[in-house]
């Protein structure tokens, strides 16, 4: 026990908070408290950004990368899939499994593969799983099963793709964290279909669509 705690750094504590929020989101989904479940996933996204920010600014521990990915698997892999299944029924079992599997592959690739030549450090290779999870859970709040179904399939493919997605790093993380925390509060206290939910959804969809469109345009120019 002492050995494990000796290895833990500040970013690792935040990663554990991320996992706890994801676990809590699952519990809220089973209690049909869907808005709270979604808000907890948004807070988990803020925690995920914070642990990366702390890791870049401070000492990196031996647990950091793996612990961060394990927490992401809970909060942005399992939790959104469970939420969609609880809300819409058993038909979401296979698509939820596909989504979770692609999310795990995305995290495993990030952990194991070296930096790819031609891919700058300011971008991710493939859609990051926190963004995918937030898009899925906000679509659940809109209470449109077919929309959630389509989005889960689309983000699953994008997560394992090579499409470059922008990162939020260092000082740029501060406004991002504030926006995410505010969105969590709004989503936690608003009913599904409210204009604020639609606005958050549209912002996330814009993030989903913009990189593939830019990548496609660059490919055609070549």
Tell me the CATH number of domain 2-221, given options 1.10.3720.10, 2.40.50.460, 1.20.120.1760, 3.20.20.70: 1.20.120.1760
CA 181, 10, 178 angle in degrees (round to 5)? 15
Name the pLDDT band for 173 (thresholds 50, 70, 90): very low
For residue 157, pLDDT over 90 is answered with yes
Per-residue pLDDT reduced to its tens digit, 30-87? 999 998 899 899 899 989 888 877 777 776 777 777 889 999 999 999 999 999 999 9
Name the pLDDT band for 178 (thresholds 50, 70, 90): low
Per-domain residue ranges of the chain = 2-221
* pLDDT mean over 168-177: 51
Lowest mean pLDDT among 16-25, 53-62, 66-75, 152-161: 53-62
Average pLDDT of the chain to the nearest whole number: 82
């Amino acid at each position: 026990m002492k050995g494990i705690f000796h290895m833990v750094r500040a970013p690792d504590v935040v990663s554990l908070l991320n996992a706890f929020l994801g676990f809590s989101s699952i519990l809220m989904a089973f209690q049909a408290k869907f808005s709270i479940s979604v808000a907890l996933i948004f807070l988990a996204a803020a925690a995920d950004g914070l642990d990366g920010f702390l890791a870049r600014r401070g000492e990196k521990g031996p647990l950091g990368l793996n612990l961060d990915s394990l927490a992401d698997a809970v909060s942005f892999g399992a939790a959104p899939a469970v939420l969609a299944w609880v809300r819409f029924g058993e038909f979401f079992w296979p698509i939820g499994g596909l989504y979770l599997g692609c999310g795990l592959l995305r995290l495993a690739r990030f952990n194991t593969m070296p930096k790819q030549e031609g891919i700058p450090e300011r971008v991710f290779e493939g859609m990051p799983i926190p963004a995918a999870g937030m898009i899925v859970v906000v679509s659940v709040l809109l209470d449109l099963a077919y929309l959630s179904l389509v989005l889960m399939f689309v983000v699953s493919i994008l997560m394992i793709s090579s499409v470059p997605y922008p990162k939020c790093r260092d000082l740029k993380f501060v406004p991002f964290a504030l926006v995410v925390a505010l969105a969590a509060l709004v989503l936690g206290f608003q009913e599904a279909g409210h204009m604020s939910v639609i606005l958050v959804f549209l912002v996330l969809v814009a993030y989903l669509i913009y990189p593939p469109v830019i990548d496609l345009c660059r490919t055609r120019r070549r």
